[in-house]
Amino acid sequence: MATIRGCLAASVLFRNSVKKSCVKYQVVRTVYGRKQSDERADMIRELFKRKQEAGPEKKAHRGTYLDWNYKSELFAFSKRIGETFMNGSLERAFTQRSYVLQQEATQKDLGLDDPDRVLEDNRSLAEKGEELSRDFVARYLRTALPCLPEENIQSIRDHLLKPESVANIISNIGADELILTSEFPTEIQTRVSTFYALIGAIEESSGQERGALFVRDFIIASLSGQDINALIMPENKFETLREIFLREGKEPPEPRLISHVGINTIIPSYRVGIYSEKKHIGTGDGESVKDALDNASLSVLWKMWGVPDAVFQFPYQLDVGQVLSNNQTNVPGSEWTREKISCR
């Protein structure tokens, strides 16, 4: 267009000759541009076709890239989580047994029977870290929920320490690609043992309290947003409540239907109240009388066990030293009575 506007501005004497050359240039440029565009489109289509035939691209470990510096990555990771490690303890925490065996086989093939550097795997650190994690999580839950039966404490701990949950933590903190192992992508159990080894390395370098603080900030904090009630739900709600009252020597709880609405509609609603010794102790709603009774029984049990009404009420910032000094276990459910506990 700029060429055509320049042609129109030419003098009268050269208008005819310039106009002819401009038209010729415009035609040649258009034809050449269309030809180039068609060739580029054909090339893109062919590349896409070959990519589809080759299948999905195989994932490669970050360590295969030329700009990978493992020492720098370890240093950045330690600063990212705010921990200081003794010489070599962090690298040892990320070194799996399979990687050590792989390196030994490689050195043997190269004729290096007596290498200068002997690699250590993370098995001892993983054992130490797992022991600290299981012990501290149980102590923390007992401190936060002192009225909860011991069986429920164990249920919450087992949920927090599920292999899938622990493996997600190690991936979320950006440590998955730092693991030295012969496998790729890394398996769940490999990530789990690495996470425990990392805790063991922190304990070895900075002490038990620092390792417990790491467990609190990453494992206990993962309970946020989860429904604690679903983890400790008794199978027979009303019968569990009734057994507690009988052990306490009180009159067994008595359910009563308080009200109901919409019983002839698609979604009816029933309200059941629970009474003991002529006192109202709990209320529950449901789409059936059984559901309402279960909810009423749970409302009473949650009050007795000191379960928070909402997830955000769970204490996530308890003092680590206070938790480690708590050596008491909660009362088992088969022996649980309000006289045997002292809830805050």
Are 105 and 192 members of one domain?
yes
pLDDT in tens, 41-59: 888 999 999 988 888 877 7
- Pick from 252, 253, 291: nearest CA to 271: 291
Domain end marker among 210, 228, 246: 228
Q: Judge whether 63 lies within some domain.
A: no
pLDDT in tens, 232-253: 989 999 999 999 999 998 999 9
Q: Judge whether 92 lies within some domain.
A: yes
Environment class of residue 16 by beta-carbon count within 10 Å: exposed (0-12), middle (13-18) or buried (19+)? exposed
Q: Judge whether 65 lies within some domain.
A: no
Quote the pLDDT of residue 343: 57
pLDDT, mean of residues 272-281: 93
Note down the domain range covering 93.
70-228
What does pLDDT average to over the chain?
A: 85
Are 90 and 222 members of one domain?
yes
Token couple for 25: 């240039």
Q: Judge whether 106 lies within some domain.
A: yes
Q: Judge whether 190 lies within some domain.
A: yes
Q: Judge whether 60 lies within some domain.
A: no
Q: Which residue has the higher pLDDT, 291 or 88?
A: 291
Are 174 and 304 members of one domain?
no
Q: Judge whether 269 lies within some domain.
A: yes
Close Cβ partners of 204 (under 8 Å, ≥ 6 residues apart): 86, 89, 125, 128
Are 99 and 204 members of one domain?
yes
Q: CATH number for the domain including 305?
A: 3.30.160.20
Are 84 and 48 members of one domain?
no
Q: CATH number for the domain including 178?
A: 1.10.1520.10
What is the number of structural domains in the chain?
3
Helices 237-247, 289-305: inter-axial angle, 10-degree rounding: 50
Are 178 and 249 members of one domain?
no
DSSP 73-132: HHHHHHHHTT----TTHHHHHTB-HHHHHHHHHHHHHTT-SS-S-----SHHHHHHHHHH
pLDDT in tens, 162-187: 999 999 999 999 898 899 998 888 89
Query: How far apart, in Å, are the Cα atoms of 188 and each of 160, 185, 193, 335?
Result: 15, 10, 9, 38
Are 95 and 175 members of one domain?
yes
Domain end marker among 228, 254, 273: 228
Q: What is the pTM of this model?
A: 0.79
Are 79 and 222 members of one domain?
yes
Quote the pLDDT of residue 114: 63
pLDDT in tens, 59-73: 777 777 777 898 999
Are 115 and 198 members of one domain?
yes
Are 74 and 223 members of one domain?
yes
pLDDT in tens, 20-41: 444 444 444 444 445 556 778 8
- End-to-end Cα separation, the chain, in angstroms: 83
Domain end marker among 54, 78, 95: 54
Are 193 and 306 members of one domain?
no
Are 34 and 96 members of one domain?
no
Q: Judge whether 295 lies within some domain.
A: yes
pLDDT in tens, 104-146: 888 787 777 665 567 788 999 999 999 999 999 999 999 999 9
Question: Residue 257 — very low, low, confident or very high, per pLDDT cuts 50/70/90?
Answer: very high
